[in-house]
A and B are shown apart, each in its own frame.
Chain A
């Protein structure tokens, strides 16, 4: 419960800030509005493959403005998952399932602000989520500074296949604050902060922990509170290329601390191609109650490798091709993105052979984007 008190204080403070900003936005009336996001459609096929897991499916996004004041966005996302991960093959049987995710958002432009209200729903056979988000982006200081404030409230329902008596809930609160600043005619920088508070069932109904070598159901705390701060800078190098760098520090009440550092380079080739390359390194410490094989009974115990001590090196690239263009009518691009994941766990044993576990995975994204 100690985790929920600071979270409540932050909730109250951020809600007050959000309310005052909203009040300012609507009281001032509409004289000049920031531009709405451009009309846009995206269609993607995505695949993740690695560690015995394959997740693939289509995703769609359509955005259209109405009367130059409101822009509506609809999204659909499917994950068709075939899971034979190390957790599954060592304690259960491989399975297949689908996750369907729907989203609807409305952007409203008023004076120097863009207000975005969004709802979302995600459903798996044994897990469903509903969410509501409100984000405000406010331009200030002659358009050189953009302040973003956002809030998401989500509620999950957790069931267990094979155990019809199991039913539990989880609730999540997310508060975002961001500032993007124009530094020079060539450089932008941003700072983002996010506080997340969770209560309810925060584990996995199927996963087991090991205590004295024996498998027992994992036991997670029912509250968690986390903070993250991210710094980014991106610069136009002037030769039709750009460079970016970012760093994020994360910490939570489960005693996990994580650092993420990423650098990227983008460049136009000819009249039709834009290429991006980037490297991302992530490292984290373990949760207080994580144990590969606990040597004592404790209130909470987990062998979820996501909560263990590990690092992850990601190398990625994207290529965008100007396929068809009719000035003033539409602009169609074909895009391909690849990411290679290399996860090395420092305290998670592959119990099939007794050695530290690691995995490599590949992510492929093929998509068309159209602005019209």
Chain B
């Protein structure tokens, strides 16, 4: 590729698989995931850390894939939306997003799902304000956000009704 910049070798775990790669020092993690690994579920909405469309999990924490360099991810454990959905850990929320029509164009949705998914680890149902605060780093231009808030509530209500 004639990349004129320094190349760095990295080893990391992505969605449970160990990945060895040589990456340009300046390459962002989200570009590495999208271009080198074909994991296109993380999207580029602003590339300056505001919109949240590139959200992924790095060592269990939500991070902006556009603010982390691939080289910085060396040794880390990455989970993308593809991994989270494949594992089934967010199935209930996926169902709820669909039932509540919590996505329209879908461009923000994988990141929104991961961000909202963090709430599912709570033992009690979060308030609507808490849900809104949780997803306030993720920009959605299509929905009124309300359907997304409803979807998270829906998950907790469904659990309650099954108990």
Query: Is this pair of chains taken from one and the same complex?
Result: no
Chain A residues at the B interface, C-beta cutoff of 8 Å: none
User: Interface residues, chain B, CB within 8 Å of chain A?
Assistant: none
